[in-house]
Chains A and B, each alone.
Chain A
Amino acid sequence: MNKVHASSGRSRLVVIFLLTVIVLAACGLWHWGTAWTVSSAVGIPVRYKFLGYWDGAGSPSGKLLRPIGIAVASNGDVYVTDARIRVVRLASSGEFKGEWGREGKGHGEFGNPVGIAVAPDGSVFVSDYDQDRIRKFTSDGSFLLSFGASGKDPGRFTAPAGLAVDSSRSLYVADFYNHRIQKFRPDGSFEMIFGHPGRMGAGALHYPTGVAVTPEGKLLVADAYNYRIQWFDAGGNPIRRVGDHLFWLWPLRTSSKRGFKVPTGVAVGSNGLIHVADSGNHRIVMLSAKGEYVADWSIPDSNPKVFSPEQVAVSRDGETVYATDLSANRILILAVERQPAFQEDGTGKR
């Protein structure tokens, strides 16, 4: 009889212990899953100032229709891909400068042009999401080369999305359904792969959509459905990630100002400041070079049913940020503005 009592007491203790462990684990996961890990930057007094938007008026084929990809050339020209199956070139003033492309499979034709990047020599790379290939053009749209095919092998794509070019004109491609970034030489030959498919841990990517190269040559990845930004060194080693959390396990509304929800685009200025198209939160987030939160700007009249902005680009001097707002058929233009100086009364108040 005593044995039975002792045994049932032990069982109760085990159950209480297990319940405690489960509750603590759930609390820990909840905290990890919903608490953002993006810390705030200190001493970077800059913010976004909305300058206006462009709708592509003046283009013979019509105004912008669901623009998605965007890039800025070193001369300030802005290139945009849109649902009219074309590339539109705009001056830094927003004035229409040219366009090319139409639906098809030939040179200068696309199935669905999505990503775009401009190399230091002015050549323009465009990713074709439907045809799984990359096309390269001169700055005014003359066809140069095409590479890539459908598949999972190195050098092949399954829905290539965002693009970036580094100072040596190598191209980085966000390979959406293959959950990786691929690097190509300027002639289109395959060089290496960054990242691997996964939901957790360094280097794991889940539907990456955007890429950018920092002034130091590091690769930034908009790891959209892991809700984070990741850094890789030139050798492909993951070195940092921000916004790392399990938010995707809890489909809760974002309340923090420093987390991401489906960050689909990323760009870096020459000043090192990073701009993130935090599409699920309908805003653009500015980070320091270390990935600390600096500022953000939300689209005031965003369509809550469509994630936007999709992609982001920054001018060479780092002072002007452009972002595609697909659902509103426009390009958003923001200035990176220094905030008024703090009052030097020791209170820190403005």
Chain B
Amino acid sequence: MSFKPVHINRPFGRWVGLALVATALAYLAAPPAAWSGPASGAPRQAVVAVNGMSCPFCAYGVKKHLSALPGVKSVQVELAEGEAIVEFVPEAKVTDEQIQKAVRAAGFTPGKIEWK
């Protein structure tokens, strides 16, 4: 068995290279998937479902942990609704994963996150 070098067709290779560069640029330019596409200049609001939240001490714990996220403007916890409403400054770049982590750190299981 002998090794045969592969000869790449030069014009085809150029197109492949260009496609790779374009893909890389597009990836770098686009925000991560979890960023929810903020409307430019508008405050962003995340409505986070928090499963099992009934106790005010826990609700305040959720509020405390969410308030520590970067770019948080305000946090409102609705005990009866079982949800936290987090308002971010327009330039905030917070992911769903960060929000979920904060809710877990507060001792709860995060539910659906709805961006407004």
Which residues of chain A have a CB within 8 Å of any CB of chain B? 66, 68, 112, 114, 129-130, 159, 161, 176-177, 207, 209, 224, 262, 264, 279-280, 303, 305-308, 310, 326-327
Contact = CB atoms under 8 A, between A and B. Distances in A.
Contacts of A307: 54-56
Interface stretch (B22-30, B37-45, B57-65, B95-103): B57-65
10 contacts: A66-B56, A112-B63, A112-B64, A129-B60, A161-B57, A176-B61, A177-B107, A207-B57, A209-B57, A305-B82
Nearest to A279: B55
Given A207-B107, A327-B79, A306 B60 contact: no
Contacts of A262: 54-55
Interface residues of B, number: 14
Interface string B37-81: 000000000000000001111101101100100000000000110
A207 B55 CA distance: 11
A159 B54 contact: no
Interface of B: 54-58, 60-61, 63-64, 67, 79-80, 82, 107
Contacts of B63: 112, 130
B76 to A, nearest CB: 11
Contact of A68 (B54, B56, B107): B56
Contacts of B54: 262, 280, 305-307
Contact of A327 (B60, B61, B67, B80): B80
Contacts of B64: 112, 129-130, 159
Given A114-B60, A159-B64, 7 more contacts: A66-B56, A130-B64, A176-B61, A224-B55, A303-B80, A306-B54, A307-B55
A227 to B, nearest CB: 12
Contacts of B80: 303, 305-306, 327
Contacts of A176: 57, 61
B31 to A, nearest CB: 30
B112 to A, nearest CB: 18
Which among B57, B64, B79 has the highest number of chain A CB atoms within 10 Å? Answer: B57
A326 B80 CA distance: 12
Given A305-B79, A305-B82, A130 B57 contact: no
A262 B57 CA distance: 11
Given A130-B67, A306-B80, A327-B79, A112 B55 contact: no
A68 B60 CA distance: 11
The 3 closest A-B pairs by CB, nearest first: A305-B80, A307-B55, A306-B79
Contacts of B79: 305-306, 327
A310 B60 contact: no
A207 B60 CA distance: 13
A129 B57 CA distance: 9
Which among B63, B79, B80, B82 has the highest number of chain A CB atoms within 10 Å? Answer: B79
Contacts of A264: 55, 57
A30 B75 CA distance: 40
Contacts of A279: 55
Nearest to A114: B60
A264 B60 CA distance: 14
A159 B61 CA distance: 7
B61 A326 contact: no
Given A129-B64, A130-B64, A130-B67, A310 B57 contact: yes
Contact of B56 (A130, A177, A207, A310): A310
